[in-house]
Amino acid sequence: MKMKSFLLAAIFIFFANTAMLSASSVHESATDAQQQQAKPYEPKSIAQLSATFLERTGIYAMLFPQEGVTNGHGEEMTLFEQSTGRVIMFAIIFLLFYLAIAKGFEPLLLLPIAFGGLLANIPIANMTSDHGMLGIIYNMGIANEFFPLLIFMGVGAMTDFGPLLSNPKTALLGGAAQFGIFGSLIGAAALSQYTGIVDFSLQQAGAISIIGGADGPTSIFIASKLAPELLGAIAVAAYSYMALVPVIQPPIMRALTSKEERCIVMPKTREVKRLEKLIFPLIVVMMIALVLPDAAPLMGAFALGNFAKESGVVDRLSNEMQNSLINIVTIFLGLGVGSKLASDSFLVAETLGIMVIGLLAFAAGTAAGVIMGKIMNKFSKEPINPLIGAAGVSAVPMAARVVSKVGAEEKPGNILLMHAMGPNVAGVIGSAVAAGVLLSIFN
Amino acid sequence: METNLVLESLKFMVLGMGVVFLFLYLLVLLMQLQAFIVGKFFSNNNDSNTIDTKKSNDLDEKRRIAAIIGAVMQHKK
């Protein structure tokens, strides 16, 4: 009995000792760290003070780049990225400011994105680190793909499916335009397979090709899931090309159609009952639930916004989604994406490849939509102006406006806007479905 | 064996475009079906009987005002 209690006591003392030892070692290491952080201040001469201050200036950091300097994520930056790279990025960012303000290129997003880029390239401040403003914003809502979904909710609350419901078959035009996504996927794959310029993985190629969907939030959503390292370039490409829709699309639309086709007048659309608009978002969600759950986050948020709007009983919520919420999230989304415009992640060969492929994706989507419009015009009882196919590349409502403008130029008084809005909103659904397919492949 | 990226992405395209078209085609069918059902069974409810259409049907309101103005003008003549 004595022996047993002695043994127990010994074991107890042993554990108590080890616990105390480990606790004291933890304590010691903690105080070590504290001592390292808060060095006692030593008196310095004014010359020493000036010298240390000079070393902490941005000019010094850019003129005399040093080995071993890390970016916000602890990765080492090359000498070029620390010096000339930053200068080039500042120039690119000022160009983006010019495009957003003077040329009106999607200013709502391009301006915060560019400003985020400006802040991200400030040396020493390390604003993209986990404790920096941009890093916090990025981790808060982009790394976990949350912000694009909130944007999608607002877009849903702003979208009117009336034109689509009044002429349902135009939805197929929105499907054809998604060829831009998959066509450019092949382009990206070929570029990295047969040329040595860039080396995209299939995931990266998929993330880039979604630019062809001409839908900003979808692009950011997919990029942050499949290839976060390319997010900055993809977002800039997507929004720049969306702003360039009036420049990119008309020549392609004219090249693929004859004058007679462009002059086709479409019959007036029927009026859509409110009940149809109310049921529509539910149909979409149920179809997503049954066919493609991978697209559920995107389409779920979109349908929620639309349902709130069409229900007519929660105007307060719907207004919030359309205004305050989407505006706040736009600021954060822009700054967060801008954090990826730091010289070390933007100034790479891939960026150039993304710009080229993005442009091809837009062109291919437009062309496929117009060709589908021609085919449908051949087989449909009612005449269909093939121009409205070009609106299938989402980019709501810019693409539809461009179609209407080109149509009115050919035949004054021929208003195609409402007819083009059908494929336009179907394009949003189409690109979300395409995004869901890509996610389902890589999951 | 190294994956042939182009071949893989071709397969992705077949699958992707197939699913996109299938999805949208089903959506077209459902839209037509619901238009038919709503038109057949709920056609009387469009204006104001069961659903409050005050907000969404501004157009109807405008038309009504136009009709009233028209009638007044007619009367004045």
Q: How many whole angstroms separate alpha carbon A392 and alpha carbon A423?
A: 5
DSSP string, A231-264: HHHHHHHHHHHHHTHHHHHHHHHHHHS-HHHHTP
* 3 state SS of A76: strand
- Beta-carbon contacts of residue A390 (< 8 Å; ≥ 6 apart): A177, A249, A252, A253, A366, A369, A370, A373, A399, A402, A403, A420
Q: Is B20 on the interface with A (CB under 8 A)?
A: yes
What's the one-letter identity of residue A344? D
Number of domains in chain A: 1
Find the length of chain B. Answer: 77
Calculate what percentage of chain B has a pLDDT beyond 70.
74
Residue A330 within a domain: no
Per-window interface: B 21-60 vs A, CB < 8 A:
21-28, 30-32, 34-35, 38-39, 42-43, 45-46, 51-53, 55-57
Say what the pLDDT of residue A28 is. Answer: 47
All residues of chain A having their beta carbon less than 8 Å from the beta carbon of residue B16 are 178, 181-182, 434, 437-438
Best residue of B22, B24, B34 to probe chain A, by most A CBs closer than 10 Å: B24
* 3 state SS of A208: helix
Q: Do A164 and B57 lie within an 8 Å CB cutoff?
A: no
User: Would you list the domain boundaries of chain B?
Assistant: 1-42
More confident residue, A44 or A34: A44
Residue A420 is part of which domain span?
165-223+234-314+347-442
When computed from its CA atoms, the radius of gyration of chain B, rounded to whole angstroms, is: 25
Q: Has residue B51 got a pLDDT over 90?
A: no
State phi, psi for B53 to the nearest 5 degrees. Answer: -105, 15
User: Taking residues A130-143, what's their average pLDDT?
Assistant: 93
Residue B69: pLDDT band with limits 50, 70, 90: confident
- Give the least confident one: A96-100, B7-11, B44-48: B44-48
Residue A288 within a domain: yes
Best residue of A210, A437, A441 to probe chain B, by most B CBs closer than 10 Å: A437
DSSP string, A101-167: HTS-SSHHHHHHHHHHHHHHT-TTT-TTSTTSHHHHHIIIIITTTHHHHHHHHHHHHH---HHHHHS
pLDDT digits over A270-324, tens only?
Answer: 889 999 999 999 999 999 999 999 999 999 999 999 999 999 999 999 999 999 9
All residues of chain B having their beta carbon less than 8 Å from the beta carbon of residue A210 are none
Hey, what are A157's tokens?
Answer: 């609350």
Residue A323 within a domain: no
Residue A89 within a domain: no
pLDDT digits over A312-366, tens only?
Answer: 999 999 999 999 999 999 999 999 999 999 998 899 888 988 999 999 999 999 9
Q: Which among A276, A294, A314, A279 has a CA at the least distance from the CA of A222?
A: A294
Q: How many whole angstroms separate alpha carbon B67 and alpha carbon A62?
A: 72
When computed from its CA atoms, the radius of gyration of chain A, rounded to whole angstroms, is: 28
Residue A97 within a domain: no
Chain B closest-CA separation from residue A129 CA (Å): 34
